[in-house]
């Protein structure tokens, strides 16, 4: 079970890193709220204003996402939009973040020649990539930087 509350003080961190952990958070509700939102609210509490959350997760089109039986959820370039201040579905959480950076990685990590060729194409237009390219180009990893808004 994931511990949701950290004993650190509010506004303690400039940077928090979540590398391949968010996909393991279950969809169950705690006190009427999905656990994933509670995790983001705790991260938001811990970050200073303009503090950055760096996230690496498997992309929902890739083999990394499907290869692990423990993965509870999947992510794409638009999964974190709900945390934007003016997003129509941000009523599920009190956490607000500015999306600073999104990068799709064809293969996990630094990856080699295929990443050098494909990553610039995949990251040119995320909407085009998600709608048209993910059906046949399986993207392994999504990197996102979120900046806390307080």
Q: pLDDT of 74-116, one tens digit each? A: 999 999 999 999 999 889 999 999 999 999 999 986 668 999 9
Per-residue confidence in pLDDT tens, the chain, 150 aa: 445 567 789 999 999 999 999 999 988 998 889 999 999 999 999 999 999 999 999 999 998 888 889 999 999 999 999 999 999 988 999 999 999 999 999 998 666 899 999 999 999 999 999 999 999 999 999 999 999 999
What pLDDT does residue 136 have? 92
The third-level CATH classification (topology) of the domain covering 13-148 is: Rossmann fold (3.40.50)
Sheet holding 47-58, edge to edge: 13-19, 47-58, 141-148, 97-105
């Amino acid at each position: 079970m994931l511990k949701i509350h950290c004993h650190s003080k509010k506004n303690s961190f400039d940077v928090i890193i979540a590398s391949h952990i968010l996909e393991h958070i279950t969809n169950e509700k705690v006190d009427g709220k999905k656990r994933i939102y509670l995790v983001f609210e705790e991260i938001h509490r811990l970050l200073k204003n303009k503090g950055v959350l760096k996230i690496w997760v498997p992309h929902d089109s890739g083999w990394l996402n499907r290869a692990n039986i423990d993965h509870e959820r999947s992510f794409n370039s638009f999964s974190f939009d709900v945390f934007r201040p003016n997003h129509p579905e941000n009523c599920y959480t009190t956490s607000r973040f500015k999306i600073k950076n999104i990068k799709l990685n064809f293969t996990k990590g630094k990856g080699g020649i295929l990443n050098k060729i494909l990553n610039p194409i995949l990251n040119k237009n995320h909407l085009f990539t998600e709608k048209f390219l993910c059906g046949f180009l399986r993207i392994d990893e999504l990197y996102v930087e979120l900046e806390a808004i307080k």
